[in-house]
């Protein structure tokens, strides 16, 4: 039975499929939800218990930053930790914006699989313990 849940939000079907497969193989007892847009993500968040959101920045219609604003504006979802994962928006300006929107981390591709999985596991363990997660950039 799953003990944690992750919502992956990306408008690229292949990215969703790859991340879902990776999590199924590497993260035991984690339920994975997928959303191909910000709007779908918001609908999932209203219906399901989600512990961690992995959010792509570059999406059509509503980008990851806009999606994060909506997530943070709703009482039911404002506490859910967000990790941005992007291949395109790598500059410090975009990272800063992500952290200002309340992200706990801002990861850029390519990212080594072991490091990525270890990072996600660490966050999930801390969430399960009830720890308050602060943005990664604030810990330095």
pLDDT at 139: 42
Task: Place 3 in a pLDDT band, splitting at 50, 70 and 90.
Answer: confident
pLDDT at 140: 38
Task: Place 11 in a pLDDT band, splitting at 50, 70 and 90.
Answer: very high
CA-CA distances (angstroms) from residue 53 to 7, 133, 140?
Answer: 5, 13, 22
4-139: CATH topology: Rossmann fold (3.40.50)
Query: Hey, CA dihedral for 59, 40, 129, 69, is it positive or negative?
Result: positive
Per-residue pLDDT reduced to its tens digit, 35-75: 999 999 999 999 999 999 999 999 988 999 999 999 999 99
> How many C-alpha atoms does 76 have within 13 Å on its Cβ side?
9
Reported pTM: 0.91
> What does residue 88 show for φ and ψ, rounded to 5 degrees?
-105, -40
What does pLDDT average to over the chain? 91
CA angle 140, 79, 139 (to 5 degrees): 5
| Total residues found in the chain within this entry | 140
Domain boundaries, the chain: 4-139
Per-residue pLDDT reduced to its tens digit, 68-99: 999 999 999 999 999 999 988 788 999 999 99
């Amino acid at each position: 039975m799953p003990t944690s849940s992750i919502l992956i939000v990306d408008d690229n079907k292949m990215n969703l499929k790859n991340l879902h497969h990776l999590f199924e193989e590497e993260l035991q007892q984690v339920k994975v939800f997928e959303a191909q847009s910000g709007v779908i993500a918001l609908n999932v968040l209203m219906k399901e218990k989600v512990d961690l959101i992995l959010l792509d920045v570059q999406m059509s219609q509503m980008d990851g930053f806009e999606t994060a604003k909506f997530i943070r504006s709703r009482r039911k979802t404002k506490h859910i930790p967000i990790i941005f994962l992007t291949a395109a928006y790598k500059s410090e300006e975009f990272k800063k914006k992500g952290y200002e929107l309340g992200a706990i981390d801002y990861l850029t591709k390519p990212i080594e699989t072991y490091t990525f999985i270890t990072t996600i596991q660490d966050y999930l363990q801390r969430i399960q313990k009830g720890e308050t997660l602060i943005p990664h950039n604030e810990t330095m």
